[in-house]
Every structure is written in structure tokens, then in C-alpha cells.
Amino acid sequence: MENIALIESFSEFKDDKLIDRVTLMAILEDVFRNALKKKFGSDDNFDIIINPDKGDMEIWQRRVIVADDDLDLDHLEITLTDARKIEPDFEIGEEVSEEVKLIDLGRRAILALRQNLISKIHEHDNTNLYKQFKDLIGEIYTAEVHHVRPRVVILVDDEGNEIVLPKEKQIPSDFFRKGDNVRGIIENVELKGNKPQIIMSRTSEKFLEKLFEQEIPEVFDGLIMVKNVVRIPGEKAKVAVDSYDDRIDPVGACVGMKGSRIHGIVRELGNENIDVINYTTNTQLYITRALSPAKVSSIKIDEENKRAEVFLKLEEVSKAIGRGGHNIKLAGQLTGYELDVIREGNVAEEEDDVELTEFSDEIEAWVIEEFAKIGLDTARSILKQDVNDLVRRTDLEEETILDVMKILNDEFNS
């Protein structure tokens, strides 16, 4: 019973670690064999018998019987006199098996064994955890906020596993409190020493794709395919969808009546503006759709250099570029083409137009930059805009916009 008691003392934490008894006993055997190698130089003449049902194990040492004055290696040999104390009819040359009691190893050796066992179990846990989450890379996962730090949020799942959500993997508008449930995708699992670090992301394009799969039944069932996703996290995204069934309108199915289906996804992503477009292999049509809501007049494509000149009427230019240049940037990423905007318009007006930078002595540089962000870089392109629309699309106050328009009007009316 000595061995059972000692093993139970070693394995008292097995339930917390969710390790089954068979696995525990296998780890125990490995630990004891390493200890025997360390003490005797080899474990070849030791047999370890495990009984996982009882939680017991026995260690037997095999030694060859030699004459009393021929003893050389006492861990491999035993004298005839000592052998006959075990069994009176033993003879020289025979092999003796003798049980080794764990308690005989000594207190220091037992403490070392226990520490080694704990280390092996942690290693076993970490290996299993690494494999488990490696298989979950690219999948949506939910965990609870445990601790909020300046550069990272530490999450814990239902099994107590720690998951890391770095600041750069968070949507800019994300704000978390302890106890909040957070959804993201498992983006990577890295080994830090022997411990796996599980990385979650909410900014990945894959997260948006998986949200479509989770929230829209036709995508989940494979009736609608998400062909490509590009996004500027928290600001804007474009998703190209397709269906092999002509009876299904993929865009309509994804958006839903009055945006009912996509609303949950938008809310999850901090009100990220999501454009859903029909995928097509027709490059001109694909670029045209990608630049929505702008209406494209014509497109000239350079296939070799993957560039396209997009011709637009003056009033459509700012729509194509979008706030902060987001729309044209995402359209280029979605289609794989570098897009150059070419303005169409009244020739006389264009010749008479003035670059906004020419007014730098009267208009502050940061104000000029705000207009440029939405594709307005000339005087007439601004004067054609609605004031309320400019307030909505820039970070400028109405009073500032009116002052700029007065300066520009004075230029043409003087």
C-alpha cells in the first residue's frame, strides 16, 4: 500500500487538470524511468508494472547472482549470500527480481520525483492546449474579459484557458470591462517557452467572413459564397458574394429586408459600414460595383500592370474616393487593381478651376487636407457640394465650410 499512498499524493491534483488515470500513470512511468536512469545510469534492468484501475505501480529490479567476492556492479549484480536471503535455492548465474519500494528512494528523491511529475503534467497540458487551439485557428471563439491592460485584453474561456486580445487586434471603438463576453477569431497560437499563447483578433477579414457564415443561413449552408473580404476595421468593409443558384440574390439575402440580416454584424463590428456587392469575373463590372455608391462613366484597364483608369463625372469623384479615401482604397484591394480616378466635366470650367492649395495663404493646411481626404482638391469641386453633406463627410464645422466657400466664390466673382 506504500506505493499507492505515494502515487495518490503525487496525483492529488489530477482532477483539477482533467487528466485521466491512464495518462497519469503513463506520465508517472516516464518520470520514474528518468529517475532510475539518473540514479543508476540505466533503467534497462528495471521493470515498471502499472495498474491504472487501482492507481498502483510496482518497480522491480533484476540482478544477476555472483559469488560473494566477485561483486562489481551492485545495481546489476547481487551476491549469492544476499540472493539466498530472498530464496534459499538460488544459484550463481541466475537472475533475481526484487521489488523497489518508493519510500526506499528517500525523501529528497521523492520530492524531486513529485516536482518532475508536476512539470511533465504541465507539459502534457500545454501540448494538448496547443493542439486544441491550432485546430481552431480561423474559427470564431467567445471568451470572457478577465483583465484589461493598456496594450492587451486578457480573456478566459469556460475551461479556464487564457486568451490574448492585443490592442492592434481590437476594433478602434472597442471598449471592454471585466466580465464582458468578447467574440473574435483565433488568429494564431504561439509557443512562449513551453506555454502556448492564444491570440484572438477582431480586426481580421476572416472574422467578418465567419460572422457572415454564422449570421446568414445561406452562407452557412453553402448556397452563397463569400468570395473576398476587405476592411478598414471599425470604419468600412467591402464583401463580394456569389451564388451558383440564379434564383438566389446573394446581396439581398446577405443584407436582408431593410438591412435586418446584416445589422447584427455591423453592431458587432462597432458600426463598421459594410458594402455587400455581387462578385463577377467581368473586371470592368467588378470595379464598377466595387466603387459603389459612385456611378462610373467608363473604365480603361491595363491588365499587365494591374491598373485601371476610372472616369467619373465631377460630382461622383468624392463618392468614389469616400471619406478618408476609404472607398477607393477598399475597392482597389477587393478587385486587385490600382485605381486612378479621372475627372470628367465641363472643359471650360476645368480650365478655369483652381487647385485648393493655391489658397494656402487664406485657408489653413489642415482644412485643405480634410477636403482632399474626400477627393475635393479644387475650388469648383467644393463649390458644387452641399454644405450639410460636407459637414457629414468631413471633420469640419459648418462655419469653417461656409468661410472656405466664401473665399472660393470671391476668387471667381472678382
Residue closest to 356 by CA, chosen among 291, 288, 284, 404: 404
Higher pLDDT pick, 381 / 305? 305
* The pLDDT of residue 1: 38
Spatial CB neighbours of 20, under 8 Å, sequence gap ≥ 6: none
The domain ranges of the chain are 2-131, 139-200, 204-279, 347-413
* The pLDDT of residue 346: 52
Least reliable range by pLDDT among 158-167, 243-252, 375-384? 375-384
Q: Which residue has the cell 470572457?
A: 144
* CATH 2.40.50.140 for domain 139-200: yes
Measured at the alpha carbon of residue 43, what is the angle toward residues 40 and 49, in degrees to the nearest 5? 130
Say whether pLDDT at 353 is over 90. no
The predicted model scores a pTM of: 0.62
> Alpha helix locations (H) across 167-216?
205-215
- Mean pLDDT computed over 352-358: 81
60-75: per-residue pLDDT in tens? 888 888 888 888 777 7
Pick the CATH number of 2-131 from 3.30.1240, 1.20.58, 3.30.1480, 2.60.120: 3.30.1480
Say whether pLDDT at 57 is over 60. yes
Which CATH code is given to the segment(s) 204-279? Answer: 3.30.300.20
- Mean pLDDT computed over 163-173: 95
Say whether pLDDT at 332 is over 90. yes
Burial 213-226 (b: 16+ CB within 10 A, else e): bebbebbeeebbeb
Higher pLDDT pick, 36 / 110? 36
Higher pLDDT pick, 205 / 346? 205
5-55: per-residue pLDDT in tens? 555 554 554 544 556 666 667 777 777 787 777 777 778 888 887 766 665
- Mean pLDDT computed over 93-109: 74
> Alpha helix locations (H) across 18-158?
21-40, 80-86, 107-134
DSSP string, 16-57: HHT--HHHHHHHHHHHHHHHHHHHHS--TTEEEEEETTTTEE
347-413: CATH topology = DNA polymerase; domain 1 (1.10.150)
Residue 346 has a CB neighbour count (10 Å cut-off) of 11
Say whether pLDDT at 344 is over 60. yes
Higher pLDDT pick, 159 / 283? 283
Distance CA 388, CA 398 (A): 7
* The pLDDT of residue 124: 66
Run of H or E including 383: helix 379-383
Contact assessment for residue 310 and residue 319, using Cβ atoms and an 8 Å cutoff: no
